[in-house]
Amino acid sequence: MAANVIEFTDSNFDSEVLKSSQPVLVDFWAPWCGPCRMIAPLVEELAAEYAGSVKVGKVNVDDNQRTAMNYSVASIPTLIVFKGGRPVNQFVGVRPKAQLQEALDAAKA
């Protein structure tokens, strides 16, 4: 994992994401998923660009099925923006960087 990307798990999701004072971008992924590997560098870029204002992390759906099920993640990659402990935006599949930046900027406002 890149320096600014946090590994979210079933056990730390509540404290790291739901109780975060900052907006959080969560990337639901799996190591065997090709599109997940395609979007990983973009997620790492966003983590670096938004360091200090948005928390960015990943949930491996194979290892953390409870969290994936709680948010009805049926396809990966799924990216969800949380603010105040609630999902405020969700994207399925590879998306343009600008679209994700727009969602993060809105969550910071």
User: To the nearest 10°, the Cα dihedral for 33, 66, 26, 3?
Assistant: -80
In whole angstroms, what is the distance from residue 109 CA to residue 101 CA? Answer: 12
Active site (catalytic) residues: 33, 36
